Amino acid sequence: MSNRKKWGDPGSCVKRVTEAIVISRGARKVIVTIYPDGVLGLRLSKHRKEEQVSAASVYRWAVTTRVAHEKWEKKQARKKGGKA
């Protein structure tokens, strides 16, 4: 039998209550759960529905967003006649 912890085993995931607030039926804190195999669970406090996403997808989204913002900043600087 393997020593690897399964999804339902106690201690197999880490939960953290963040300071991030989402306005949905009142102001709710975001709770993040890190599961084995790089899966993140996101839910609002006092809600049961959890959204799950891979850590790789979150990383790709973050990089894509940063690059798009940098391109936008350069475009704005060119419009104003400055250099980026």
Q: How many domains does the chain have?
A: 1
What residues have CB less than 8 Å from 49, skipping those under 6 apart?
43
The answer to whether residue 65 is domain-embedded is: yes
Residue 40 in any domain: the answer is yes
Q: Which domain holds residue 74?
A: 14-79
* Residue 2: per-residue pLDDT: 47
The pLDDT value given to residue 12: 79
pTM of whole model > 0.85? no
Would residue 84 count as lying in a domain? Answer: no
Instruction: State whether residue 26 is helix, strand or coil.
Output: coil
Assigned domain for 4 exists: no
Q: Is residue 18 part of a domain?
A: yes
30 within some domain: yes
What pLDDT score was predicted for residue 7?
Answer: 57
Q: What are the tens digits of pLDDT across the range 29-72?
A: 999 999 988 899 999 999 999 999 999 999 999 999 999 999 99
Residues in CB range of 28: below 8 A, 6 or more apart: 21, 22, 44, 45, 46, 47
Assigned domain for 29 exists:
yes
Please tell me the predicted confidence (pLDDT) of residue 80: 86
